A and B are shown apart, each in its own frame.
Chain A
């Protein structure tokens, strides 16, 4: 596939995302209304409660969903490339379990710092876990990726036990923790958007600027280094930035599975392994996919709202198996 076609596909993905965003804004209360949507452009015609619903509930939720979807699939694409392993997802370095432990600590300790309490705790614990994994995986000055992968898995198991323990002790707070771990956007607010946004504004351009290095990694670390890539620095920066993005996402939305694993695979099948197109395409498709997952989670069993994380896993796992069986080319 030539570069023009790849760019066209990225353009189509952007258009799909914009259309999905518009559609998502019009969805609420179990129905879709064009009038809701159109009034978005004419706020003066809205009642106060309608304004609140649109601007204080749906819009921040939309933006948060888009950001988290983008962050997860972008990080998934980066980490799969970095680790040269198709089964890697954004939580490979223990971020999800670390974040969950943080959330449990926040809930059980009863500390309250306002809306930020839970996100802050899970963010800090998620990052701390990542650094622990990176530290454990480091040998001398080098970071052998296969050892890091195993360290991440081991820490994940350890923390799962802690999470179970926390849930066992949670008592009446159990439902709050379970909700957090299943992932969702029901507590979205502008505050959360604003806390998350700086991470994205700094992190995403950095990740995109490493497309060439990631391409070089496709040929193996040795070859990449021989071509002038500072392999260890690249690993450090990309692991750090993706960890920040994923930890930020987990802190506002809980653990949302499969988006970061499946979306990069879909893009690879469509446009190939070149990170210069793979990264932006994953970014936009990830946003759309999570947006639609959220739309379904709000509408499928209305008025009950399903956890998005449950939905993405329900849809993602079978789809992933389908992809694997269809593709069957070595990676």
Chain B
């Protein structure tokens, strides 16, 4: 059986209630941390675990915690980033909806480590029904003495609140999230100062993703060294993967990092293979922002090695032939998918979600959307393809926050790996007039057919 550190009890009936959760070992990490460990000892375990931020950036969580300004006289805050909005990602929603106490428990243990007396869960507004699930769980935790004054009779006190957003992908960027939590537009802040020094209300703040905070529970329970034994190399632990698109079994899967990509896609334990008996065409492995890879490059690296579900293996080859683990939003496309149309929906998304603060992103995302619309609908020119590459290049690295990069990478990679498909749209407008063009007849590379002839 593959190791389950987060979802072990997910299918237990009524696991969303405090009582059942507690009966299955819930809140043990709070007891252990508050009664037997110093806050710094908890941070030390998280460092040892090698846990990397599960929101997408993959920054070592323990290191992030260690940056927190502990000398400041201001209160410290822990803010959970539950603004899950990266297309292809729905793991945090699954976790919060099914086993809300795991997040609450992680919040308490992590808040203790950081010395936070007030913590917030910032959740995207569209998940309003989950706000109610979390609030119910928090009420239960207060009633059982795990939140509020003098938790379990110790000197430590904590208040925990849920704060809904109102529809803005950008609020998943941690400084935009803090702006939003302060009741403002979600415009990312210039860094430095980093939130660890001047975050919420200009006080020292740590912002962590839902899954990162939930992982703290098993790290404290079993110890950082034990956690680090799970996974492969620097990709320690387990990861929630949101699998979507043209597969037989879409859903959220907890995998041990190091699983071969091929097994993840084709094994019945996970995605169950490509639907309708079709062939695999491409995968976006870590949420819409990461480079798309064609079938041969997602299954094997350019060097011919088996591609694994780890931060390192997915990134092997850099952006020339690799991608990123990102948020674990694993979007699979079969041979009937149109790469151009899929990309157009992504560019429309980034244009819609750009906060408008930086010109390259505000203007560039709009241009990319319009040019892609033109190509997809058979009105494009050959030079449009290089125009897209040029616009993407001018956005990348030239904005305050990573949304610009996130908008540029999918465009650059789709053209890098599927240029001929873009050219086809320009050459044969009549063949792409039907929006379902490749469902009628999958795209076949003329170049490949010529070289095989």
Q: Do A and B bind each other?
A: no
